[in-house]
Amino acid sequence: MWGALALTPRARAKVVDWAASTSEGKPVEKLPNLPTTKGPAGMFTGDVYFDVVYQGEEPSRMRANTVRFAPGARTAWHRHTVGQTLYVTEGTGLVQARGGDIVVMHPGDVIYTPPGEEHWHGATPGNFMTHLALWEAPAPGGETPESTWGEHVTAAEYRLP
């Protein structure tokens, strides 16, 4: 069955040479699991926990966290210098850009916030919500932070649409 796809020794050597030349001598690596961290009260309302999935080192500036929100928990208003993408994996959540409509999020939804857009996100009052948060750090050499955090979302702002 695999005969047509099998590589000859010569072809296999070329693939190995290519892989070695593109990986800059670094093999595939299993990264350590870091402990779960409770979200700081200055940035979150309610119980929020996150796991750092990936924090790239130059030339990568990629960041990825799995974030778990208890019912009613949410971020404070904040913005990301290079934008952010959320991928909802469990539960039901809410997201809102400053001055915009509140959007309900469900598993499988992908939410993009452009660079500098002030927004908040979190769980609905009656449901847990988990998302994968993806963003990039700004280019090195600048003074711009990855994220800028503002005031907490008020009870009047936090509501079902």
> Does residue 93 have a pLDDT over 60?
yes
The answer to whether residues 109 and 129 touch, using CB atoms and an 8 Å cutoff, is no
Q: Can you state the percent helix, strand and coil of the chain, rounding each to 5?
A: 10, 40, 55
Q: Is residue 38 part of a domain?
A: yes
The CATH number given to whatever domain includes residue 54 is: 2.60.120.10
Q: For position 139, what pLDDT does the model report? A: 81
* pLDDT level of residue 161 (50, 70, 90 thresholds): confident
Q: Is residue 2 part of a domain?
A: no
pTM exceeds cut of 0.85: no
> What single-letter DSSP state applies at residue 142?
-
Residue 50 sits at φ, ψ, to 5 deg, of -135, 150
Tell me which residue range forms the domain holding 71: 33-149
The answer to whether residues 89 and 149 touch, using CB atoms and an 8 Å cutoff, is no
Tokens for 66, please give them.
């799995």
Q: Is residue 25 part of a domain?
A: no
Q: Which residues contact 158 (CB under 8 A, 6 or more apart)?
A: 45, 72, 74, 94, 122
Count of domains observed in the chain: 1
For 23-77, how does the pLDDT look when each residue is reduced to its tens digit (9 = 90+)? 566 788 887 888 999 999 999 999 999 999 988 878 888 899 999 999 999 999 9
Alpha helices per DSSP H over the chain:
9-22
Q: Is residue 85 part of a domain?
A: yes
Q: Is residue 42 part of a domain?
A: yes
